[in-house]
Amino acid sequence: MSPERNASTRFAILGLLGLEPMSGYDIRRASSDTLRHFWHESYGQIYPTLATLAREKLIRELPPARAAAKPGARASRKLYAITPAGRRAFAVWQESAPRERPFRSEMLLRVFFGDAGSAHALREHVGRLAKEETARLASYRALARRLRSEAASHPSQPYWQATLRYGQLRSEAALAWCRETSRTLGKARLAKKRAHA
Amino acid sequence: MSPERNASTRFAILGLLGLEPMSGYDIRRASSDTLRHFWHESYGQIYPTLATLAREKLIRELPPARAAAKPGARASRKLYAITPAGRRAFAVWQESAPRERPFRSEMLLRVFFGDAGSAHALREHVGRLAKEETARLASYRALARRLRSEAASHPSQPYWQATLRYGQLRSEAALAWCRETSRTLGKARLAKKRAHA
DNA sequence: TTTGGCATGTAATCCGTTACATGATTAG
DNA sequence: CTAATCATGTAACGGATTACATGCCAAA
């Protein structure tokens, strides 16, 4: 088995367990909360990966007693903790160069072939995107505030804020594009009308 | 078979064939040239999808004589053209709302858990990203220029430029983030050193 | 003659989502 | 009682890449 296999999910999990012991359910929650602006995992990925990591001794399952210790926690939950080997593996991965998947956009695919279709529909798509990005900006602000107040002195604070800042800049760029493009599409529609007249 | 199956690839191909007849090889070339900033397909996707589209009569294979007509074209190539049914299917898809896959970033994953690792490595990652985005900006400018000169009066011109503009704004945002973050990481490194001293 | 670009395709594999199956506990 | 949330997992499937297999043709 290659060391890079399943890289993304493995290290997202190791990273989270590096902060504190968690269950699969906790990891899922974190991935649709704190991490959701740049990472998300489904159960179908998480549970099998936890099993693999445990087999490789990069994490270990804490005894049930410890798992049930927290108030409100179910006895059925399995708490996992990172091992020293896990921390080393994480550090190695963290220093390796990130490999991003190529950007893809169904939106831009529609825009590129826009002349073949309805300019009206395109403008609707752009409008919808603008709304989504606006909502995203609001959620970044909310999360930034929450992290600052809930973990003001946590040493990771500047790193967390940096990821949020990325999202913010990204959404602002998208919004700028939406505004520009609505205008352009308006003009394109007029030009087409004139051509047909 | 659901109508949305394989949506992305199908319509990227239909869109391209809407411009002019092409072979699988041509489509691949376009997808790593004109479309590469927001779309890319590998042979493993293209050839099977062409077969499917042909079976569904959304495209048809042109007779070999036509395929060999162009100078420099091999006899072995298969030229495909979109059918009227294909154009209708494309138009329907184009009006449907784009469904983007959630953003993911291995880079941000490393940054988020930055406190667990090496600030030095992170700064290198950020530097590499900055270089990549700078290169991307240059390639957008080059492509924009090329499209303007090669197809100045093509009615799709404004749409093509809009997709490039998206890439440009996106890369500029990424670059702004890189600059900001290098500074932040510098400070974080100092803070960590002081804490250890 | 050998390298590189044209050209078509398949098989293995991976990464990830969705849907399914199951059940405990808690708040209203 | 019942709905929501906590909690763990599997199976099926889909979308995409990578590597492989094959062969032609032109230019250096």
Residue matched to tokens 């395109």: A122
Contact A121 B155 (CB under 8 A): no
Contact A18 B113 (CB under 8 A): yes
Return contacts of B65-71, CB within 8 angstroms, 24+ apart: B66/B21, B67/B23
**pLDDT reported for residue B63:** 86
Nucleotide nearest to A80 (CA to C1'): D8
Q: Is the CB of A78 under 7 A from strand D?
A: yes
Please state, for a pLDDT cut of 70, what percent of chain A lies above it.
Answer: 88
**pLDDT reported for residue B183:** 94
DSSP letter string, A8-63: HHHHHHHHHHHHS-B-HHHHHHHHTTTTTTT----HHHHHHHHHHHHHTTSEEEPP
Residue B102: DSSP 8-state: P
Tell whether the model's pLDDT for residue B31 goes beyond 80.
yes
Q: Which of A21-35, B1-15, B38-52, B118-132 has the lowest mean pLDDT?
A: B1-15
Separation of alpha carbons A129 and A109, rounded Å = 14
**pLDDT reported for residue B76:** 81
**pLDDT reported for residue A71:** 58
Residue of B nearest to A111 (CA): B159
Nucleotide nearest to B4 (CA to C1'): D14
Separation of alpha carbons A114 and A189, rounded Å = 10
Residues 6+ apart with CB under 8 A from B26: B16
Separation of alpha carbons B44 and B60, rounded Å = 20
Of B113, B114, B125, the CB nearest to A98: B125
- Full-model pTM: 0.93
Of A104, A162, A180, the CB nearest to B165: A180
Please state, for a pLDDT cut of 90, what percent of chain B lies above it.
Answer: 79
CB < 8 Å to A12, chain B: 109
Positions 103-162 of A with beta carbon below 7 A from strand C are: none
Residue pLDDT, tens place only, A21-50? 999 999 999 999 999 999 999 999 999 999
B81, B130, B152, B157 from B149: Cα distances, Å: 26, 29, 5, 10
Q: Where are the beta strands (DSSP E) in chain B?
A: 59-61, 80-82
